[in-house]
Amino acid sequence: MMSEDMKRLAAERAVADVTSGMKLGIGTGSTAEHFVRALGARVREGLQVIGVPTSERTRALAEAEGIPLTTLEETPALDLTVDGADEIDPALSLIKGGGGAHLREKIVAAASTRMIVIADSSKCVETLGKFPLPIEVVPFGLGATRIAIGKVFADLGLSGDLRMRGGAEHPFVTDGGHYILDAHLGAIPDPQALAAALVAVPGVVEHGLFIGLAAKAYVAGPDGVFEMTARA
């Protein structure tokens, strides 16, 4: 089974959890796009929901699918967010942000009663960190912010390259107007400690560690979709 087929199966499983009247957070990325299309099909069949997209790309696709949309200003409390992940560990801690939308994704997930992650089995890891950790930063004072992030890594015994996404000449710019530094750490033994230390750095807007947000994950592999819950 191809990866895209697995993503589609996981997304369709998550759509089955959506019921009429729900206020939804709608994620960003290739797997989330399968969810948007499957959700759109159910909306056209009569399902009544309203959604908050986590990126302009998701907004455009949801509008094309005919899904009614709102904002967190208008609808500040959501029932469910469905989103993908770049890595998932056994505690359902995540690395997200490969698509550069993790700031809005985290705001939306935190405003939701539940978060369901959809992914293919290649995203499951024992220890987070092989996928580069996105760190969203303010362009002003970038040099000082990089030094401060490097000190955080050293204090926690971590090492690895910190690379500007898109390069210095043409940096990737998020929907919020920020840059992303991708931390190639290899392994993150204590995600909670790193998460707390990074948000304390002036100039860091947000990072791609999602801890304590996901309630469950639908993970698709060669043998079908299985439900994953946090392992203590």
In the chain the domains, ranked by start, together with CATH numbers, are 3-125+211-228 (3.40.50.1360), 133-201 (3.30.70.260)
Q: What is the pLDDT of residue 134?
A: 98
The reply, when asked if residue 186 is annotated as ligand binding, is: no
> How far apart are the C-alpha atoms of 19 and 130, rounded to whole Å?
36
d(CA 209, CA 133): 7
Q: Residue 28 annotated as binding? A: yes
Local confidence band at 230 (pLDDT 50, 70, 90 cut-offs): confident
The answer to whether residue 105 is catalytic is yes
Residue 1's pLDDT is what?
60
Name the average pLDDT for the chain: 96
Percent of the chain whose predicted confidence (pLDDT) is above 70? 99
Pick from 131, 132, 99, 93: nearest CA to 115: 93
Residue 29 annotated in ligand binding: yes
Does 21 show up as a binding residue in the annotation? Answer: no
User: Which of 12, 33, 105, 136 does the annotation list as catalytic?
Assistant: 105
Tell me: pLDDT of 103 over 70. Answer: yes
**Pair type for strands 216-221 and 112-120:** parallel
